[in-house]
Amino acid sequence: MLELEVGLRRGGFTLDVTASLEGPATALFGPSGAGKSTLLGVVAGLVRPGRGRVVLDGEVLDDAGRGVHVPTHRRRVGVVFQDGRLFPHLSAGENLRFPERFVPPARRRFQAEEVVRWLALEPLLKRSVRSLSGGEAQRVALGRALLASPRLLLMDEPLSALDKGLRGEILPLLHGALQASGLPVVYVSHDLAEALQISREMLLLKGGRIAGRGPFLDLLEIPEALDLFRDQGLLNVVAARVAGHRAEDAVTLIEPLTGGSGGVSFKSALSPGHPAGREIRVALRPEDVALALAPVAGTSIQNQVPGTIRRVVQGERRTLVVIDAGLTLLADVTRQSEHELDLRAGRPVWCLFKAQALRILDAAASGPADGTNS
pLDDT of residue 345: 94
- Mean pLDDT per block of 10 residues along the chain (374 residues) reads 94 94 89 91 94 95 95 91 87 93 87 89 93 89 90 89 73 79 88 80 92 83 74 78 91 79 76 85 90 94 94 82 88 93 96 92 43 38
Strands 152-156 and 185-189 turn out to be: parallel
pLDDT of residue 223: 72
Segments making up each domain of the chain, as ranges: 2-232, 236-363
Of 3.30.70.870, 2.40.50.100, 3.90.1150.10, 3.30.70.940, the CATH number of 236-363 is 2.40.50.100
Judge whether 2-232 and 236-363 match in fold.
no
pLDDT of residue 172: 76
pLDDT of residue 75: 93
> Of the candidates 353, 347, 302, which has an alpha carbon nearest to the alpha carbon of residue 321?
347
pLDDT of residue 16: 96
The 3-class secondary structure across the chain, one letter per residue, is: CEEEEEEEEECCEEEEEEEEECCCEEEEECCCCCCHHHHHHHHHCCCCCCEEEEEECCEEEEECCCCEECCHHHCCEEEECCCCCCCCCCEHHHHHHHHHHHCCHHHCCCCHHHHHHHCCCHHHCCCEHHHCCHHHHHHHHHHHHHHCCCCEEEEECCCCCCCHHHHHHHHHHHHHHHHHHCCCEEEEECCHHHHHHHCCEEEEEECCEEEEEECHHHHCCCHHHHHHHHHHCCCEEEEEEEEEEECCCCEEEEEECCCCHHHCCEEEECCCCCCCCCEEEEEECHHHCEEECCCCCCCCCCEEEEEEEEEEEECCCEEEEEEECCCEEEEEEEHHHHHHCCCCCCCEEEEEECHHHCEEEEECCCCCCCCCCC
pLDDT of residue 300: 92
- Three-point CA angle 92, 96, 101, nearest 5°: 130
pLDDT of residue 43: 96
pLDDT of residue 264: 66
pLDDT of residue 362: 60
pLDDT of residue 47: 94
Of 3.40.50.300, 3.30.420.40, 1.20.1250.20, 3.60.20.10, the CATH number of 2-232 is 3.40.50.300
